[in-house]
Amino acid sequence: MKHCIYLFLGFILVFSACKRKDVQEMKTPLTVKNFWPSSGKAGTVVTISGTGFGSSAKENEVSFNGIAATVVDVKDTIMMVLAPEKASSGKVTISNDGKQVEAGSYTYQNLTMRAVNPLNGPAGTNLNIRGEGFSSLNTPAKVTVNGKEATITSVNDTLIVAAVPEAAGTGAVKVTVEDKEVSGPLFTFQHIAKLKPLKGGKGTTVTITGEGFSTVAADNSIAFNGKPGKVVSATATQIVVTTPDDVATGPLSLTINGQITTGPDFTVIPPPVLQTVTPLSSPAGEDITISGKNFSKEADENNVFFNGVKGTVKSATEEGLVVTIPAGAGTGNLKVWVNGQETAGPLFKEQNLGIAKLTPDNGLEGSEVTVTGVGFSNVLTDNMVTLNGLTIPVTGATEKELKLKMPAGISTGALEVRVGALQATGPVFKRAGVMTLVGGPGTTDLETPGSIVVDRGGTLFIVDGNRIKKVSATGVINHFVGSLSNTGGHVDGTGTSALLEAPTSMVIDKLDNIYIQDGNYKQTFIRKITPDGKVATLFSFSGRLGGGIGVDFSGVVYVSQQYQGVFRLESNATLTRIGNGYVTIPGGMAIDPSGRIYYAGGDYYTPYVGVTSPGGRDALLAGNSSETGFVDGQGGQVLMGSPIEVTYDPVTGNIIVIDNMLMAVRSITPGGLVTTITGAAGTRELFKMGYVNGTLNEALFRHMGGVCVDKSGTIYVSEKTNKAIRKIFMK
Residue extent(s) of CATH 2.120.10.30 domains in the chain: 435-729
pTM over 0.75: no
Instruction: Give the β-pairing of 362-363 and 422-431.
Output: parallel
CATH 2.60.40.10 fits 273-350, yes or no: yes
Q: Mean pLDDT, to the nearest integer, of 333-349?
A: 94
- Superfamily holding 112-189: Immunoglobulins (2.60.40.10)
Whether the predicted pLDDT of 25 surpasses 80:
no
Whether the predicted pLDDT of 662 surpasses 80:
yes
Strand order in the sheet with 312-316: 273-278, 287-293, 320-324, 312-316
CATH number of 354-431: 2.60.40.10
In terms of Cβ atoms closer than 10 Å to its own Cβ (0-12, 13-18, 19+), residue 582 is: exposed
Span 435-729 CATH architecture: 6 Propeller (2.120)
Burial track 198-216 (b if 16+ CB lie within 10 A, e otherwise):
bbbbeebbbebebbbbbee
CB atoms within 10 A of CB 240: 16
Residue extent(s) of CATH 2.60.40.10 domains in the chain: 31-108, 112-189, 191-268, 273-350, 354-431
CA–CA separation, 552 and 564 (whole Å):
20
CA–CA separation, 358 and 401 (whole Å):
10
CATH number of 31-108: 2.60.40.10
What pLDDT does residue 2 have?
41
Whether the predicted pLDDT of 277 surpasses 90:
yes
CA–CA separation, 239 and 222 (whole Å):
9
- Looking at per-residue pLDDT, the higher value among 4 and 164 belongs to 164
Q: Mean pLDDT, to the nearest integer, of 1-26?
A: 41
Please check whether residue 370 is in contact with residue 400, taking contact to mean a CB–CB distance below 8 angstroms: no
Q: Mean pLDDT, to the nearest integer, of 241-254?
A: 96
Whether the predicted pLDDT of 483 surpasses 90:
yes
Please check whether residue 706 is in contact with residue 448, taking contact to mean a CB–CB distance below 8 angstroms: no
Q: Mean pLDDT, to the nearest integer, of 501-516?
A: 95
What pLDDT does residue 17 have?
42
Percent of the chain with pLDDT over 70: 95
Mean pLDDT lowest for which of 238-252, 326-340, 594-608?
594-608
Please check whether residue 699 is in contact with residue 679, taking contact to mean a CB–CB distance below 8 angstroms: yes
Whether the predicted pLDDT of 279 surpasses 90:
yes
What pLDDT does residue 545 have?
58
What pLDDT does residue 13 have?
39
Please check whether residue 62 is in contact with residue 54, taking contact to mean a CB–CB distance below 8 angstroms: no
315: CB partners within 8 A, 6+ apart: 299, 321, 322
What pLDDT does residue 15 have?
38
Mean pLDDT lowest for which of 148-152, 158-162, 214-218, 428-432?
428-432
Give the model's confidence band at 604: pLDDT under 50 very low, under 70 low, under 90 confident, else very high. low
Given 2.102.10.10, 2.60.40.10, 3.40.50.1000, 3.40.50.720, which CATH number is that of 191-268?
A: 2.60.40.10
Give the model's confidence band at 618: pLDDT under 50 very low, under 70 low, under 90 confident, else very high. confident
Give the model's confidence band at 23: pLDDT under 50 very low, under 70 low, under 90 confident, else very high. very low
What pLDDT does residue 544 have?
63
- Looking at per-residue pLDDT, the higher value among 2 and 254 belongs to 254
Q: Mean pLDDT, to the nearest integer, of 25-43?
A: 87
Strand order in the sheet with 126-132: 112-117, 126-132, 159-163, 151-155
12: CB partners within 8 A, 6+ apart: none
Q: Mean pLDDT, to the nearest integer, of 90-96?
A: 95
Q: Mean pLDDT, to the nearest integer, of 625-630?
A: 87
CA–CA separation, 183 and 176 (whole Å):
9
Mean pLDDT lowest for which of 207-211, 476-480, 696-700?
696-700
Burial track 271-310 (b if 16+ CB lie within 10 A, e otherwise):
bbebeebbbbbbbbebbbbbbbebbbeebebbbbbbbebe
- Report how far apart, in Å, the C-alpha atoms of 315 and of each of 312, 329, 447 are: 9, 20, 53
What value does the mean pLDDT of the chain take?
92
Whether the predicted pLDDT of 422 surpasses 60:
yes
Whether the predicted pLDDT of 137 surpasses 90:
no
What pLDDT does residue 153 have?
94
CA–CA separation, 286 and 602 (whole Å):
47
Give the model's confidence band at 586: pLDDT under 50 very low, under 70 low, under 90 confident, else very high. confident
What pLDDT does residue 556 have?
95
